[in-house]
Amino acid sequence: METVLKVSNFHKSFGTKEIHKGTSFELFRGECLGLLGGSGTGKSVILRALVGLERPDDGEIYYKNRKVHTLSESEWRPLRKEIAYVFQNGALFDSLSVLENLSYPLLRHTKLTQEEITKKAIRILNQLDLFDTEHLYPNELSGGMQKRVGLARSLMLKPEVVLFDEPTAGLDPKNTILIQEAICKLSKTDYTSILVTHDMSTALRVCDRIMLLEDNKIKLTATIEELKDKSHPLYEFIKGVQN
Ligand SMILES: Nc1ncnc2c1ncn2[C@@H]1O[C@H](COP(=O)(O)OP(=O)(O)O)[C@@H](O)[C@H]1O
Ligand SMILES: [Mg+2]
């Protein structure tokens, strides 16, 4: 199994507040790894560190065996095309149509023609159940559709790794299922991903492995296979995390 990302003994404090005290895990190629943890345990902090937006106080981060936690901002920039961070609120440009929003990263970062970009955009929109939305503007879409367009935009550059930060938070059940299915489909085909959620049922539906962040580190990791046993200790810990 190829390790795509490796976090080793990650420490991070803000002022006197210690958030991570030795968080360690590996992400294997092709898997969808769930990250569960209560609110404020540092889930977003670790994802931000994986795209160079937070620096560890101590510990290491490797991307494909390359040490990345010491890179400069300009060295990080090209890597962010390979590791996409899907923000909690993937803000779209209101003055641009859906197609223009999706085209934007490619016009900036690639030499593809608008025709090629349009083809790609429509394919990704269709995958996310967003048929015939390319000429609409964000304010003509429901909140759930906007979220899916945000997801579509982060996939346009075909990243190798996608970091989903609570992609279904605040969504109604129908959109939650659509996003979950999209992540499922994506993670079974082209991508390696980490899915942050505080919802165990989402994690069980979508992920291949699940890890729990508690007491400032990864406390437990289990495969979906292991979690078929409902007496697995992870379920005991999760009770305190849900809600
Ligand atoms: N840039 C920052 N400055 C100060 N405190 C921060 C910063 N980023 C995160 N924190 C704090 O770190 C803790 C973990 O944050 P976060 O990773 O966002 O939690 P969550 O697990 O809910 O995603 C929170 O207490 C938060 O207030
Ligand atoms: Mg968060």
Q: Are 8 and 179 in contact (CB under 8 A)?
A: no
Is the CB–ligand 1 distance for residue 45 below 6 Å? Answer: yes
Predicted pLDDT of residue 129: 86
Ligand 1 atom 3: the closest Cα is on which residue? 14
Domain ranges in the chain are 1-82+162-243, 93-158
Does ligand 1 come within 6 angstroms of the Cβ of 197? no
* Any ligand 1 atom below 6 A from CB of 39: yes
Long-range contact pairs involving 184-188 (C-beta distance under 8 Å, separation at least 24):
184/32, 185/127, 186/127, 186/155, 186/162, 187/31, 187/32
Q: What order do you get walking across the sheet with 192-197 strand by strand?
A: 83-86, 161-165, 192-197, 32-37, 209-214, 217-223
DSSP track, 190-217:
T-EEEEEES-HHHHHHH-SEEEEEETTE
Point out which residues pair with 52 in neighbouring strands: none
CB 69 within 8 A of CB 56: yes
Residue whose structure tokens are 């899915």: 195
pLDDT at 147: 87
Residue 68, token pair as written in the block: 């990345």
Where the chain has pLDDT below 50, the residues are 243
CATH topology for the 1-82+162-243 domain? Rossmann fold (3.40.50)
Alpha carbon distance 72, 44 (integer Å): 21
CA of 40 to the centre of ligand 2 (A): 7
| Residue 24 one-letter amino acid | S
Which residues contact residue 128 at a Cβ distance below 8 angstroms, ignoring those fewer than 6 apart? 148, 149, 151, 152, 178, 182
Model-level pTM? 0.90
Ligand 1 probe mutation, 36, 44, 163, 219, most atoms within 8 A of CB: 44
Which candidate, 177, 198, 210, places its Cα nearest to that of 241? 198
In the reported structure, the alpha carbon of residue 17 is separated from the centroid of ligand 1 by a whole-number distance in angstroms of 9
- CB of 20 within 6 A of ligand 1: the answer is no
